[in-house]
Structure 1
Amino acid sequence: MLGFSSTISRKYLMAITGLFLCLFLVIHLLGNFQLLLPEDEAQLQYNAYSAFLSGNILVKIIAYVLYISIILHSIDAIYLSFKSRKSKKTRYRYDARKRASKWYSRQMMLLGVILFAFLVIHFYDFWYPFKFGELPLDQQGNKDLYQLVIASFQNIGYVAWYSVAILALFFHLLHGFFSAFRSLGLYHPYYAQIIKLIGVIFSLLMCIGYLGIPIYIFISR
C-alpha cells in the first residue's frame, strides 16, 4: 500500500482535488451568469441565490469540502514542485525537458501562486463581507452582495487583476486537466488526444465565461 507521503499518492490526491475544483468552477460560473440579467432582476435573483447557498446545510458541507480541497491542492502542488526540482540531476536534463514541454506546464507553480493569491483576495472582497460584514439589504431582505460585486467590476484595476488571474487559470487548466487524468492512470494513446481536446475546450469555456462577465459589466454598467 502506498503511503500518503509517496509521490504517487500525492499525485492521486492532487488529481482528485483538481477535478473537484474543476466541477466547482462550472457551478460557480453558472451562478455568476445571473449577473448578466437585467439589473433589477439580477440584483434580486443573485442575492437570493447567495442567501440560499449560505443557508443550505448541504451546500455548507460542499463548501467545507471545497475549502479543504483548495488547501490540499495547494500544499500538494508545493510539495511536488519542490520534490521535482530537487530530483533534477543536471542542467542538461532540465534543458531537454524545457524543449519537450509547454512553457505553462513548467510554470504551474507560478500560475498556482497567482491563483492562490487571487482566491485569498476574492474571499476577502466578497465572502468575508457577505458572511461577517454589514451589507445593506435588498427589497427581499437579503444581503446585497450584488451591488458589492458590481462595484468591484466597475473598477478598472480590479477587472485588470481579475483578468490576469483568469488567464493564469486558463493556462493552469490547459496542463492540469489532462495531467489529472494521467495521474489517475486513465491514459491510453487511443483516447489521450480526446482528453486533451476536452481539456482545451473546457479551459477555453472557463476562461471566456469568467472573463466575459466582469468585462461586460465594466463596459455596460
Structure 2
Amino acid sequence: MSNSKPVLSSSLGRKLIMSLTGIFLCTFLIVHLIGNLQLFKNDEGYAFNNYAYFMTHFTPIKVVSYLLYASIVIHAVYALVLSIRNKAARPVNYAQFDGKANSTWNSRNMGILGTVLLVFIATHMQNFWWKYHNDQVPYIEYQTDLATGNTTSRVLEASEFNDYQVTVDNDVETVKARDLYKQVDFAFQNPLVVGFYVLAMAALAFHLIHGFKSAFQTIGVSHKKYVPIIEFIGVWGFGVIIPIGFALMPLYFYFIK
C-alpha cells in the first residue's frame, strides 16, 4: 500500500494511467461510431433519436459515461504533466542528436494533436450533449403503423412535449422525443463547423496511430507475435476507419442531406 503513491506519481505510472484511459477511450470510439451510424438512415431521425434517448437514460450507460468524462480529463491532465516534465528534463536541445530521425511526426506533435481534440470535444459537447440535456433541441413525434411498418413524423411544439414517450393505440405506435437528429442537421449546415470536424478527425487519426501502439507497449504487450496485429489495428482501425467514419457524418449532412 505504501508503494502505490510513488508508482502512480512516477513517469512510468503516469504513462500507465494514460495508456489505460486511452485504451478505454478507444473502446468508446467504437461504440460511439456504431451508434452514430444511425444518422445515415433515411428515417427522419427515428432510429438515431431513440438511440440518443437510450444512451442518456439507461443507467449502466450513464455510469460508463461518467467514467468516460473522468478518463478524458485524466488522460489530458497526465499528458500535460508528462509533456512539462519531459521538457524540464531536457531544457537544452542535444547538439549532436536529431530527435526527428528517430521519431514520427505524430509522436513529436501529440500535444498539438491532443489540444485540437480537446477543443473538438468541448465544441461537440456544447453543440449536442449540452443542448440535448438542457432542452435546447426541437421535438418530434413519430407514428408507426404496426401493420405496415410505415412511419410518419411531425414537428412538435414545446407545449406538446413533456418527456420521451412511447404509446400504442389501435396498432399505431407513437413516439415523442427530443429531435437531436434535427440539431445535428442544423449544426452541420455551417461550413466552419463541418471543416473543423473534419480537421479534428484528421488530428484524431494521427493521434491514434501513435497512441494506440504506444499504449500497448506501455502496459507490456510487446511480443513479436502481437505487435504486428496491434500496429495493423492501430493504423487501419483507429487511424483510418474510425476517423473517416466520423468525418463522413458532417460531410453527409452538408453535401447530401
- Indicate the TM-score class for this superposition, using the shorter chain for normalisation: over 0.9
Aligned residue number for residue 207 of structure 1: 243
Partner of 1:125 in structure 2? 127
- Counterpart of 1:12, as a letter, is L
Q: Provide the residue aligned with 2:197 in structure 1.
A: 162
Distance 2:228 2:57 in 1: 42
Structure label with greater radius of gyration? 2
Residue 114 (structure 2) aligns with = 112
Distance 1:161 1:95, change over 3 A: farther
Moved over 6 A (4+): none
Corresponding residue SS for 2:9: coil
Deviation at 1:44, TM superposition (A): 1.3
Structure-2 change in CA distance of 1:94 and 1:180 (3 Å)? farther
Distance 1:93 1:23, change over 3 A: farther
Contact 1:88 1:94 in 2 (8 A): no
Q: Where in structure 2 are the equivalents of 1:84-103 lying within 5 Å?
A: 84-88=86-90, 90-92=92-94, 95-103=97-105
TM-score (norm 1): 0.94
More strand by percentage: 2
Deviation of residue 89 (structure 1)?
5.5
**What residue number does 1:175 align with?**
210
Deviates more, 1:61-70 or 1:145-154: 145-154
Q: Which position in structure 2 is the counterpart of 1:24? A: 28
Matched letter for residue 28 of structure 2: F
Please give the alpha-carbon distance, in whole angstroms, between the structure 1 residues aligned to 2:60 and 2:248: 30
SS at match of 1:188: coil
Deviations 1:18-60 (A, max 9, x none): 00000110111111101101142xx111111111111111111
Unaligned runs of 5+ in 2: 142-174
Q: What amino acid sits opposite 2:48 in the alignment?
A: Y
Q: Tell whether the 8 Å contact from 1:154 to 1:218 is kept in structure 2 after alignment.
A: yes
Query: When the two structures are superposed, what TM-score results if normalisation uses the length of structure 2?
Result: 0.81
Distance 1:28 1:78, change over 3 A: same
Looking at structure 1, the residues matched to 251 and 138 of structure 2 have their Cα atoms a distance apart, in angstroms, of 25
Cα distance in 2 for partners of 1:13, 1:69 equals 9
Report the counterpart of residue 146 of structure 1 in structure 2.
181
Which of 5, 8, 16 matches 1:12? 16
CA deviation digits over 1:193-220, x for unaligned, max 9? 3321221011111121111121122111
Task: Give aligned pairs, total.
Answer: 219
State the identity as a percent.
36
- Aligned-residue CA RMSD in angstroms? 1.5
Worse-superposed segment, 179-188 or 80-89: 80-89
In structure 1, runs of 5+ residues without a counterpart are none
